[in-house]
Structure 1
Amino acid sequence: MSEVIEKLLYSESHEWVRREADGTVTVGLSDHAQKALGDVVYVELPEVGSEVNMQDEVALVESVKAASDVYTPISGEVLAINDVLADEPQIINESCYDNGWLFKLKPADEAELDSLLSAAAYAEQTEE
């Protein structure tokens, strides 16, 4: 069974969102997603400063099994990317909720966060 963190929000496409104290959000791949992908070997992240819209394809994660698009769970401006993943993409497998985060956003519309799944709802979705 995949790990689901209670304080996070989740998208149906298996990204997690953590609200930060400064009003930004951090986005990553869920444990369910990284397990389904298998060993991650390459990550392509969005450009810092780019504007993204909810459910845009913004990143690519390649594993030994498949390549998978990453969708932005909310609209906003990309403030930072996890540069470490360029040389060590396997961190997503090792620590998807901590060191394996993908990018940080300044939300364009905080109300979009309300459309995301709670941890309980996401856990129920991934059990099916």
Structure 2
Amino acid sequence: MRFTKDHEWVVLEGDTATIGITAYAAEQLGDVVFVETPEVGKTFQAGDAFAVVESVKAASDVYAPIAGEVVEANPELTEAPETVNASPESGGWFAKVRVADPAQYEGLMDRDAYEAFLATL
């Protein structure tokens, strides 16, 4: 699992990346009430806004940590957006993306680096 400074996580399996928001992000948002996942077939560059998460506190964009094409969106989040709070770094994933450049994954923070980054906030 790798992380961004915008609090997204990504797990790369073969040429497919699963993307979601971190436990820290979910905690900061509070109770998630709505998630807009990206459409299958849509392509993104790293850093592009690719999903929206709304909580009782705020609405926030979720940014693509890695470039690629959406191959699957998490259907559970439409009916149960609170899954993001309950399981942000597993069942609360937003989308699966066919990766354009796997080298981008290596440029992201590992968990230790992300934890060190959080300590600076």
TM over 0.5: yes
Is the aligned partner of 1:34 residue 2:26? yes
- Partner residue, 1:101: 93
Aligned letter for 1:59? A
- Quote the sequence identity (%): 43
Is the aligned partner of 1:115 residue 2:107? yes
- Partner residue, 1:55: 47
- Partner residue, 1:14: 7
Instruction: State how far apart, in whole Å, the 1-side matches of 2:12 and 2:45 are.
Output: 18
User: Which ranges of structure 2 fall in alignment gaps of 5 or more residues?
Assistant: none
1:30-89 CA-to-partner distances (Å, cap 9, x unmatched) read 000000000000001111011111100011000000111100001000000001100100
Which of 52, 56, 66 matches 1:64? 56
Q: Is the Cα–Cα contact under 8 Å of residues 15 and 102 in structure 2 kept in the other structure?
A: no
**Which portions of structure 1, spanning 4 or more consecutive aligned residues, are displaced by more than 4 angstroms?**
none
User: Which ranges of structure 1 fall in alignment gaps of 5 or more residues?
Assistant: 1-7
Instruction: State how far apart, in whole Å, the 2-side matches of 1:93 and 1:67 are.
Output: 14
- Partner residue, 2:116: 124
Instruction: State how far apart, in whole Å, the 2-side matches of 1:64 and 1:127 are.
Output: 26
Which of 62, 87, 91 matches 2:79? 87
Instruction: Figure out how many residues of one structure are paired with residues of the other and give that number.
Output: 120
Instruction: Return the offset for 1:99.
Output: 1.1
- Partner residue, 1:5: none
TM-score by length of 2: 0.96
**Which secondary structure does the structure 1 equivalent of 2:77 belong to?**
helix
TM-score by length of 1: 0.91
